[in-house]
Structure 1
């Protein structure tokens, strides 16, 4: 779904987004802090780092209506829930195992886009999506542990998928009214407030963490959060399903990083699954790029 002309390629920004977000699971695995604290400080630091840019675009706050603020609140709430649930799931299972549930994100997004915005897709897009999802499931299945903790981790991961799709679907509408910088800052700040209230209500300690943990909080606020800013910008030109589809590349990147940095191991079908994901995502994004070019050409009358 496109709302304006855009001749630049969406592929390179999405590749950068995938690489950046792939580090998120690694940072969470390195941390011993509670999932809600990781999420809270990620959003607090991200909001603070964005202040100089937001100041430049401060006049755009006048464009935000009371209804828009309501949408922004729910978007921030969904993002906060996504982080708490997904970080919590990573405390219970391996990076590879979590990909089985994460692979459902494009399907959930596709259903949400259909029922909320009457979006349609092509058979070719569904086929490439299916290839990538099968590949992601192959990665996760190779390391699935059928234990109570792993099952709880799977449930948390699935709920995090629903939450992040809600966040993306709301953003799909709001970023057409204000810049992605203002949208990202508002959502990050609201998520930080929600998570702070949650931690206060559950008596989770705000301080007392070693220097290593504060370093991880800052890393989470910079490297993987860049992906969210890029994706919010891209929502001007593509729909939430396309963003969700590209995020299927995250399990590949995260699993490779887990092998290098966490000493997790891969089997042959996980490697094959990774290749399928990359192929499916590549062909899907190329189809989306072609649609952007065609629509831009039609609008320009050339």
Structure 2
């Protein structure tokens, strides 16, 4: 990885990305539009912003040479990305920013579970223990929300379903990301996800255009801030820093979102959210660090065997 060509140190770009994605939940809370509309326009507006920068000739060659399996994986990745936005954005209508955001930190847990069943990837005892601890933290959050209302618990469930959906999106796309530039992959799955939500809105008779000017600005800002200056920036940084570093940085999103929710929405954090959130965040950090150490060992062994 070439870190010398960056105009600024990597932590500066990581901080920009974390702040950008942290604004996602705030923008969702500010809008009165349905979650399916927010998700649809967030994805489709991002697609429009990508258009001037797409390598069209490379895309044509890449898609022409793609196998049926790769097309299916691309479709699955895009469909579940759309479902992620549908469930996750809807969760904010029922629960707090703190609960919805902390529960999304469980994504590595679901990815590991899915990788075990789909790709037979084994996890060490340390990894399993950290996963169990993370799950216990989410249970603490949910149990605290039971005391708030059944609606809050329903919002927690939607957040978890959204996290499961984005985990499937990640698993389906992990091989594709190695075979195509990140902008082409992102463009394709954003387009598919946006079309999935478009069909959902048509089938459920959700209005596509009757929204206030404030909501249209929020649709655009969701595409521009958390998608372009957040997720697209993280994808670009993969050329300069390792994926684990970015994963660790993204764990700052719930913290940033909770701070912004306090100042911009006046949302207070409960004791169960604080305790459960700390347990989830610490356990996931331990898990990611351990996975990074395991990966370094594997790469060192491979280099040693190549030399010998």
Return the TM-score normalized by structure 2.
0.79
Structure 1 gaps of 5+ residues are: 1-5
Alignment check: 8 A CA contact 1:128 1:280 kept = yes
Deviations 1:26-77 (A, max 9, x none): 1110100111110110011110111122236434333423332221111111
1:207 alignment partner, one of 200, 206, 209: 209
Q: Report the Cα offset of residue 200 of structure 1.
A: 1.8
CA shift, 1:292, in A, is 4.6
- CA 1:275 to 1:100, structure 2 compared with 1: closer, same or farther past 3 Å? closer
1:97 to partner: Cα distance = 2.7
Match of residue 34 from structure 1: 34
Q: Post-superposition shift, 1:25? A: 1.1
Alignment of 1:134-153 (within 5 A): 145-153=147-155
Bigger shift: residues 131-140 or 206-215: 131-140
Counting matched residue pairs gives 293
Q: Which residue of 1 aligns with 2:96?
A: 94
Higher helix share: 2
List per-residue Cα deviations over 1:172-207 (Å, max 9, x = no partner): 121122111111100001111111122122222221
State the superposition RMSD in angstroms.
3.5
Q: Deviations over 1:94-144 (max 9, x none)?
A: 112325643543332211011111112333444555555555666666565
CA distance in 2, matches of 1:32, 1:69: 36
Q: Which residue in 1 is equivalent to 2:114?
A: 112
Between stretches 285-294 and 24-33, larger displacement belongs to: 285-294
Residues 283 and 124 (structure 1), Cα distance of their counterparts in 2 relative to 1, 3 Å cut = same
Measured in 1, the distance between the counterparts of 2:277 and 2:149 equals 25
Give 1:261's match in structure 2, choosing from 260, 264, 287. Answer: 264
- Deviation at 1:271? 4.6
Q: Distance in 1 between matches of 2:15 and 2:126?
A: 21
CA distance in 2 between counterparts of 1:157 and 1:201 reads 23
TM-score by length of 1: 0.80
After TM superposition, the structure 1 = structure 2 runs for residues 124-203 of structure 1, keeping only pairs within 5 Å, are 124-129=126-131, 145-203=147-205
